[in-house]
Amino acid sequence: MDVLKPRTESKELLVWRSLHARSELTSDEKYYYRTLEKGYEGELMFDKLTKGLQCDVYILNGLLFEINNSYFQIDTLLIAPQKIYVYDVKNSEGDYLYEAEKFRRLRGGNDIKNPLHQLERCETLLRQFLKKLGYQLPIDSHIVFINPEFTLYQAPHDKPIVFPTQLNQLFQRLNTIPSKLSKRHKDLADQLMAAHQNEYPFCKFPPYQFDQMKKGKLCATCHSVSTFQGDRRLVCDVCGHEETIDAAVLRAVAELRLLFPERKITTNLVYEWCGEGEGGSRKRFVRILRKNLCAKGYGRWIYYE
């Protein structure tokens, strides 16, 4: 087992995370953000399982491809000697009923769009993509419901679905994969990683402006803006997580670049974004920025890259 592409948060999730912490979202927007966050948590749960594989496979997480102006996403892709395995991970919880090819929520809540339709589209596009690269390996794709609190009544027996109680069986089967990977498999993995798109171009966000957003340093764990700092540490009021001031400021810089790519990173901008109005030291910010970034310009016009 070799994880060639670790999972990272998408730009969409990172932007929504900041907007959730720093602005007033509508109930629909909050629901959409929480869906993204929960989906990512489920993918991380699945990653813990794939990292325990003993078979000879390459693991690529969080892939986004484009072919013929159509985009498709793959949560987890395994390259094995004779086959490619694709897993679409769902972190849904609660009781659902499979009826007329729909996943209906019992006792209130929202229904789930049939993930099998998305999986079928993904497999079709991936097959085209692989053919374009010169590969014709068989594809074995499944929906994985990772949350142990998920139940699907009247579940079809002939659909590629893995339920929480079947996860151990899934990984036992994967660990029996014979043979060894070759250079051609590594070449395929390299080509897939090179073709990965870092950003889905059609993401939509609510309008936001710098002056209207809450200022402060976000907690690295729960992403709350309710934090306070001592001489060297930032502490979260909500979850108690601690980290160095340097790390918190550098995350704030990354957040600014994400939300406002047109703005130059200056000491004053970072100082204001971090909510330093109550006796905060500008010298500390200058030290952190100079130590970790490259200064451009002179005097009052210095900015950092």
Q: What is the 3-class SS of 111-141, one letter each residue?
A: CECCHHHHHHHHHHHHHHHHHHHCCCCCEEE
The whole-number pLDDT of residue 280 equals 61
- Residue 247: pLDDT band (50, 70, 90) is very high
Angle at 58 between CA 56 and CA 61, to 5 degrees: 140
pLDDT tens digit string along 124-164? Answer: 999 999 999 999 999 999 999 999 999 999 999 999 999 99
217 compared with 299, residue with greater pLDDT: 217
Taking the CA atoms of the chain, what radius of gyration do you get in angstroms?
Answer: 23
Place of tokens 């498709």: 72
Place of tokens 């892709």: 77
Contact (CB, 8 A) for 90 and 219: no
Burial of residue 188 (CB within 10 Å: 0-12, 13-18, 19+) is buried
> 162: which 2 tokens?
């893995």
The whole-number pLDDT of residue 224 equals 95
The whole-number pLDDT of residue 105 equals 94
Whole-structure pTM over 0.75, yes or no? Answer: yes
> 138: which 2 tokens?
């068989």
Distance of CA 89 to the CA centre of its chain: 12
- Residue 178: pLDDT band (50, 70, 90) is confident
The whole-number pLDDT of residue 109 equals 77
> 218: which 2 tokens?
């976000």
Q: Assess whether pLDDT exceeds 70 at residue 113.
A: yes
What whole-number distance in Å separates Cα of residue 57 and Cα of residue 252? 37
- Residue 173: pLDDT band (50, 70, 90) is very high
The whole-number pLDDT of residue 226 equals 93
Spatial CA neighbour of 170 closest among 27, 302, 64, 53: 53
The whole-number pLDDT of residue 248 equals 94
Other residues' Cβ atoms within 10 Å of the Cβ of residue 129: 19
pLDDT tens digit string along 15-38? Answer: 999 999 999 999 999 999 999 999
Instruction: Give percent above pLDDT 90 in the chain.
Output: 91
Alpha-carbon torsion (35, 37, 43, 45), positive or negative: negative
Tell me what the pLDDT averaged over the chain comes to.
95
pLDDT tens digit string along 253-297? Answer: 999 999 999 999 999 999 999 997 644 678 999 999 999 999 999
Alpha helix (H) residue ranges in 134-261: 167-174, 183-195, 245-259
The whole-number pLDDT of residue 182 equals 95
